[in-house]
Amino acid sequence: MSTTTEQVRKRAQRNTKVAMIGAVRTRVLDVDGSGPTILLIHGFTESADGWRSVLDMLGEQGHRCVAVDLPHFGRAARPVTTGYLSAVDDFIAAAVRQFDRGDGVVLVGNSVGGLSVLRAAQRADLPLVAAVAIGPAGLHTTWWMRLVRRVR
């Protein structure tokens, strides 16, 4: 499929900026549109860049989308914390509140981002419309990991 001039023009509307989310300086990729904000959360060792094609596709459909670099990854700051998951929980809660424009937020994450989305979905104080966890990490130990633990 060839890229049309209209698709290229719409992709050019994707913004990249540096922002403070909670106490963390990070990079934000976003596409303006309407409806609830779709907030995209990447997995372990990834960055917001992994969501570029999704941002483009959803932006072409007219949706408001945002992808952020989680603390310690991409171009985000590496804050000193006592627990990584609690720091990510705080960061995601701040991001949800910051990017909600009154229509709520659809929170989408993969891998560790998926686990974080499930953790955020349990919070009644966040304006979430929906939560989508894609292959959430850490929910169970795979058979081969259990085998490796026994061999040691």
The three-state secondary structure class of 141 is coil
Q: C-alpha 43: how far from its chain's center?
A: 8
* Element at 138 (helix H, strand E): none
Report the relative pairing of strands 63-68 and 24-31 from DSSP bridges.
antiparallel
106 CB-near residues (< 8 Å, 6+ apart): 36, 37, 38, 39, 128, 129, 130, 131, 132
Inter-residue contact 95 to 122 (CB < 8 Å): no
**pLDDT under 50 in the chain at which residues?**
1, 8, 12
Look up residue 2 and give its two tokens. Answer: 């060839």
Q: Is 4 exposed, middle or buried (0-12, 13-18, 19+ CB in 10 A)?
A: exposed
- pTM value is 0.83
* pLDDT score of 150: 67
Inter-residue contact 112 to 43 (CB < 8 Å): yes
Rg (CA), the chain: 17
* pLDDT score of 12: 42
* pLDDT score of 20: 97
Q: Is 21 exposed, middle or buried (0-12, 13-18, 19+ CB in 10 A)?
A: buried
